[in-house]
Chains A and B, each alone.
Chain A
Amino acid sequence: MPINFTGSTRNQSELEEIQAELYQDSKTFREAVIDIQEGHKSGTDVYESKVEVAMTALNTGQVTATGNIDLNFSNTPVSLVAFNYEDIIDDNSLKGTRFEKSMKAGAFNTVSDEFDKKVLIDITPAIGADLENKIWNGATSATKTAIAALTPGAGQGSITAAAQTAVAAMPTTLFDSLVVRTLYNASQAKTTPGAGLGDYVKVTGTTVTSANIAAEYGKLYAGANSKVIESGEARIFAPLGDRQLIKVANNAVGAAQQVNFLVEGTGANEKIYYNGVEINFHPLGATFRILTMPKFLKVLMDLKGDLSTLQIGQVANGAMQRYIKNTQAMSTWVTNQRYITLYGG
């Protein structure tokens, strides 16, 4: 007996797991390698001190003002930028999808538990990924203008033309990334206090490939202040893509093989070192690498928990919509700039 079917067919099964976006891990906050300071609302003062002493021949007489013990300290006010991620969602658009099944009975009820648990939950990692990018790569429009106005040069105390170009091409953000803070800031602790080029140690860079990455890291390492290297706390902050370049370089075969980087562990536990200095990979622009003590790189914020706090509620006056809002206050800062070596600066 033949089957006579009239109408349209539809799928009788679905993949249980929703295939989600891959979010960049916010390692800066998860691992807290750099100095993350909480408890600041709109701004905070950053004090820096530096004591210089000079030896003189024994004086058996009365001590007079010699100027041989110089107690320097400075204070720089740093403003935090308040920002948010916010939107309105209309759950009614979920009707006709798998999420309709988890809506409570009643025509007014359009909120899907399953949607909240499987899709809406990804807002927080997406925010984390966005912040990770902005902490390492981006500049405000004001800072972009200021850096574009600098006259580049080859020597220390001048920005390279490549860095100037790279900053111009960076995403325009609400607060300066750590790289940009290193390049340009208004610290009162600099040799020339106030708004201007940072006091970083400049290492002129070039396009880094697997063929030259060891040599270029060599320049970064050699350019660093020996006190930073001797501290045992030095870290290299490098673009994410360097991990691949390093491994390709390390795994070259034949005469080209030179194992310049130490790779320990695998997967999430993998650690990579250059001359004993651990490398941390973050979404820096490909132009830059930083070698310094991590405590000199700072993220100032109100509350670290703000990262994962979502306010979700019903829109007023009978609207069948929900608002979603995440609010934060943040800024980056750099201290002891003379001990920050910036490759590509």
Chain B
Amino acid sequence: MAKQETKTEVKNFVNPFEVNYKVFMDAVGKADVAEYCKGHLTEEQIELLIEDLKFYKHK
């Protein structure tokens, strides 16, 4: 139930595995990446994403 609520909160989800980080981060805006992706990506994908975004310099 909580997962569905999260999904409805993020409209027009942009999949970070289909676009580059610039497009993704623009879509995320000021939201938390983990919250934004919750329900749309697997736990492992979110973990990898957050780990790699630590190196992304154009946030």
Which residue numbers of A lie inside 8 Å of B, CB to CB? 151-156, 158, 160-162, 164-165, 204, 206
Contact = CB atoms under 8 A, between A and B. Distances in A.
A24 B37 CA distance: 45
A155 to B, nearest CB: 4
Nearest to B59: A161
A191 to B, nearest CB: 17
Given A161-B53, A161-B55, A151 B48 contact: no
B21 A164 contact: no
Given A154-B49, A204-B52, A206-B51, A161 B57 contact: yes
Interface in B8-56: 16-22, 24, 45, 48-49, 51-56
A345 to B, nearest CB: 11
Interface of B: 16-22, 24, 45, 48-49, 51-58
A322 B2 CA distance: 78
A152 B56 contact: yes
Contact of B21 (A151, A204, A206): A151
21 contacts: A151-B21, A151-B58, A152-B20, A153-B16, A153-B20, A153-B24, A154-B17, A154-B21, A154-B45, A154-B49, A154-B52, A155-B16, A155-B19, A161-B55, A161-B57, A162-B51, A162-B52, A162-B54, A164-B55, A204-B48, A204-B52
A156 B21 CA distance: 13
B37 to A, nearest CB: 10
B51 A151 contact: no
Contacts of B56: 152, 161
Contacts of A161: 21, 52-57
A221 to B, nearest CB: 16
Contacts of B17: 153-156
Nearest to B56: A161
Contacts of A151: 20-22, 58
